[in-house]
Structure 1
Amino acid sequence: MRRVGFFIMTPTFGGPHNQALRLFGALKELGWWVKVITTDAPGNGASRLEENGIPVRQIDLPRLRRGFSRQFVSLLEVLSSIPRLIQVIKEEKCDLVQFCGVQNFHVGIAARAAGIPVVCQLLGTFAPKLMRISVSPIVSLFIDVIMAVGRKVMSEHPWISIRNQPVFYFLPPVDTGRLFILSQKREEVKRKLGLDSRSLVVLTLGNFAPCKGHDVLVEAAGVVFKKTPNVCFCVLGSYTKDFEDYYRRTVIERAKNLGLIERGAVRFIEAGSLAHEYLAIGDLFVISSVAEGVPTAMLEAMAMGMPVVSTAVGSIPEVIEESKAGILVPPRNPKKLAEAILRLVENPPLAMEFSRNALVFVREHVDVKKCAEVHAKAYGYACKKAIKKRRLGN
């Protein structure tokens, strides 16, 4: 059994945590035992993994921050953490190290210094463009394999493969069987949340952070509610320490000022570990993000038969265009977002067609076992490449 050290920098449960959770058992069957090494900063990521039996080690794990002054200070912290990361990698007896995002290059440097194969995952376009352009070629010097959630996300990291590293494409893992069972409890969950059984629920799921564009979603909700008062927007997610003040001040206050919360048109729900259960209430899934990869939540919604309205960011267009399961709109445009939502609300046959297409796409392309097999191939290639280098004395 070979050991993978999966470094996750963010404290709040998100895409990398979901990947670790869903793939642990399947990868173990394929001979890869994954341990998550994550930050000890406040958040629900580590606890949710541990509750589900995923091995976790929490350490002081600095990461680059936005803003020039914060970036400079955090860069010093990141660079000074490399000796400690080397020690952790050795203590955990890692046969391979995996990390997400070029902004976390220090993990790759530490792994290479420890003589361990390195896999870099590109899960989205969350890092600023200038950072992606400037850091990608540096990261390329230390990694053996690239894994990416789509060709668009890959293209947004220029020069990441200047050493001709292979690229393994994958879609985030989704437990389709469990989601189908949960989808049968729709009315029960609506009652639990106090929703009118006759209301049409427009749903989104994602951490309460600026990149999710929920301020734009609130503006679009105001337009939709004026025309179709039976629509309820449910925003599922979790607060993050860095952005809680921003979110309450910018997003929730705006919803209050528009009278949307008072009239029950918009509800903000901290879903936590109940996210999948609450996902069952949706009739339509919406993504208003300004940066993404392929959101796990979108694939989960599709697995429950929801049509999608999404901003055309990250690799989302690749999924929507191939699946024919939704409508794409430009980011930061509440008018276009509202128009697309209304188009599906007012055209049930079209919504039903997208729903059927979503189910077919997920059934054919999204699977935990398939995702694990891609990971195992990427891991195996990285290890073989490292062995070959050692034999050549490189």
Structure 2
Amino acid sequence: MPLRILHLIDSNGLYGAERMLLDLMQRQQSSGLFPILGSIGKKDESVKELEAIALERGLTVQPIRMRSGLNLAGGINILEIAQKQNIDILHSHGYKTNILLGMLPACFRRIPLVCTLHGWTGTTPISKISLYNWAERQLLKYHDAVIAVSDQQLHDKRLRAAGIDNNKLFKISNGIDLDDEENAQAGKDEVIQSFVKGGKAIVSIGRLSREKSFETLIEAMSVLRNGDADIKLIIIGEGYLRDKLQKQIDSLHLNENIQLVGYRIAAKRYLHLFDALIISSVTEGLPITMLEAMAAGVPVVATAVGGIPEAIKDGITGLLAPPRNPVKLAEAISRVINDMQLAGTIRSQARLMIRKEYDSRVMADKYAELYARIAGRI
């Protein structure tokens, strides 16, 4: 009988963790495992975007609906579904299911529990999301395996401070489907194409939330404009900071240089329209968008946070800048879009690195080895 894995995620869109999970599940299915998407949602919520795309890809989907917030009943509901479906491994992706399942004693759960840390998004010590991240870390010790996606994450002192046994900690880097990258059709979008037409253009992709630090990127665009650089920036994504970011753009008189275009499905299809991808985050795991851009031959300028410096070797596979430093970020952007030789080196070297180290086949094989290792532990 193939190993049955229930992947659990509470998704609000098709972002990095969701794209990584879809690629992983497809690789697992093709290799003879039986992955199931356990998609968490609110009571009476209709089909979620992730569920629809998973079904389109021929994956098995189990919608799981529960009341909002963190509650023990939600974890018990997940466990009952898993037991009815004869699940061999519970694989959690995100703080909500990490907490819900971590609260259940192993003797009660009786199914091995694995989690992947896609990144902590709390940026201030006192905030709701920082509290959830803290609670998650305290419960990770009750998981059977905790997977970090980067060396930086693996050696994070907060994991040791939470009492997690070193024998439960593993590193498995995110990977992307290189076959899909090669065969993907270039996207067409009149709003984006008309705005960037005829000049240098850069793009940033992600939720409009604090950890992405888009305000730093907007400040960097002001620095570039003051240096007479004629560059257009498209920000693809939606979120609670949209109005605040738009006000910043307005106050800096950057409306002719920056446009917030909202959320786009499969945003990677638009990468070919740009001279560079910019990541201005203050915290990250190992961004899928970065890997996709590198595979597509689009130079990446990113802040040196999380696992980013493991993939971006400064001046070779991309350019790095310190976080929350618009001047240094502007300098790096200027370099990559004005130095064609540098950009060419980055394109070729980044593609080589992706093929060697970030193929989803390698990722799926490592997860399969880990599952086999812990399947009989409880």
Structure 1 stretches of 4+ moved >4 Å: 127-135, 188-192
Counterpart Cα distance in 2 of 1:199 and 1:221: 15
- SS of the aligned residue for 2:324 comes to coil
Shift in CA distance, 30/271, structure 1 to aligned 2, threshold 3 Å: same
Name the residue aligned to 1:297.
Answer: 289
Shift of 1:358: 0.7
Please tell me whether the aligned partners of residues 64 and 78 of structure 2 are also in contact (alpha carbons under 8 angstroms).
no
User: Could you tell me whether the CA contact under 8 Å between 2:192 and 2:261 is conserved in 1?
Assistant: no
My pick for the range that moved more, 164-173 or 358-367, is: 164-173
Between the aligned partners of 1:345 and 1:312, the Cα distance in structure 2 is 19
1:372 to partner: Cα distance: 0.9
Query: How far apart are the structure 2 equivalents of 1:101 and 1:30?
Result: 25
Q: Residues 249-273 of structure 1, C-alpha deviation per residue, up to 9 Å, x if partnerless? A: 2112211332322x1x112233432
CA distance in 1, matches of 2:271, 2:67: 32
Moved more, 164-173 or 126-135: 126-135
Offset, 1:235: 1.2
Confirm or deny: 8 A CA contact 1:8 1:99 kept in the other structure: yes
The answer as to whether partners of 1:9 and 1:39 remain within 8 angstroms in 2 is yes
Question: By how many angstroms is 1:348 displaced?
Answer: 2.2
Say whether the 8 Å CA contact 1:11–1:39 is kept in structure 2: no
What is aligned with 2:226?
226
Return the offset for 1:3: 1.2
Pairwise CA RMSD of aligned residues?
2.8
Counterpart for residue 40 of structure 2: 39
C-alpha deviation, 1:350, in angstroms: 1.7
Of the three residues 176, 179, 182, the one matched with 1:180 is 182
Q: Return the alpha-carbon distance in structure 2 between the equivalents of residues 173 and 323 of structure 1.
A: 22
Q: Deviations over 1:121-162 (max 9, x none)?
A: 11223256775566535321x211222111101222422673
1:200-247 Cα shifts (integer Å, max 9, x gaps): 22111212222211121111112223335432111122x24xx2xxx2
Once the 2 structures are TM-superposed, how far is the Cα of residue 196 of structure 1 from its aligned partner?
Answer: 4.8
**Structure 2 Cα separation of the partners of residues 94 and 361 of structure 1:** 36
Change (3 A) 1:310 1:323: same
Pairwise mapping of residues 1-394 of structure 1 onto structure 2 (< 5 A)? 1-41=2-42, 44-61=49-66, 74=69, 77-101=70-94, 104-110=98-104, 112=106, 113-127=108-122, 135-140=136-141, 142-156=142-156, 157-159=158-160, 162-182=164-184, 185=186, 193-237=193-237, 239-240=238-239, 243=240, 247-261=241-255, 263=256, 265-321=257-313, 324-386=316-378
Question: Aligned-pair distance for 1:278?
Answer: 1.1
Q: CA deviation at 1:170?
A: 2.4
**Percent identical residues:** 25
Return 249-258 or 144-153, whichever deviates more: 249-258
Task: Give the unaligned 5+ runs of structure 1.
Answer: 64-73, 387-394
**Does the 8 Å CA contact 2:66/2:74 hold for their aligned counterparts?**
yes
Structure 2 CA distance for partners of 1:298 and 1:372, relative to 1, 3 Å = same
Give the conservation status (yes or no) of the 8 Å contact 2:4–2:36: yes
Superposed displacement of residue 377, structure 1: 0.9
Deviations 1:44-97 (CA, angstroms, capped at 9, x unpaired): 33333334333223333567xxxxxxxxxx4xx433433222222223321100
Q: Deviations over 1:255-303 (max 9, x none)?
A: 1332322x1x112233432412112212111101111101000000000
| Conserved? CA contact 1:22–1:174, under 8 Å | yes
TM-score after normalising by structure 2:
0.85
Seen in structure 2, the aligned counterparts of structure 1 residues 62 and 339 have a Cα distance that, compared at 3 Å, is: farther
The letter for the 1-side match of 2:114 is: V
For residue 117 of structure 1, report the CA deviation from its aligned partner.
Answer: 0.6
Task: Name the CA shift for 1:199/1:161 in 2 (closer, same or farther; >3 Å).
Answer: farther
Q: Distance in 2 between matches of 1:323 and 1:166?
A: 35
Contact 2:11 2:18 in 1 (8 A): no
TM-aligned CA distance change 1:47 to 1:209, over 3 Å: farther
Q: Distance in 2 between matches of 1:248 and 1:18?
A: 23
Rounded to whole Å, the distance in 1 between the matches of 2:67 and 2:304 is 31
| TM-score normalised to structure 1 length | 0.82
In the TM superposition, residue 326 of structure 1 has moved relative to its aligned partner by: 1.8
Deviation at 1:189, TM superposition (A): 6.2
Distance 1:2 1:226 in 2: 58
CA distance in 2, matches of 1:80, 1:148: 28
Q: Which amino acid aligns with 1:347?
A: D
The one-character-per-residue Cα deviations of 1:143-199 (angstroms, maximum 9, x if unpaired) are 11222111101222422673343443223221223323448x48x768972245432
Offset, 1:27:
0.5
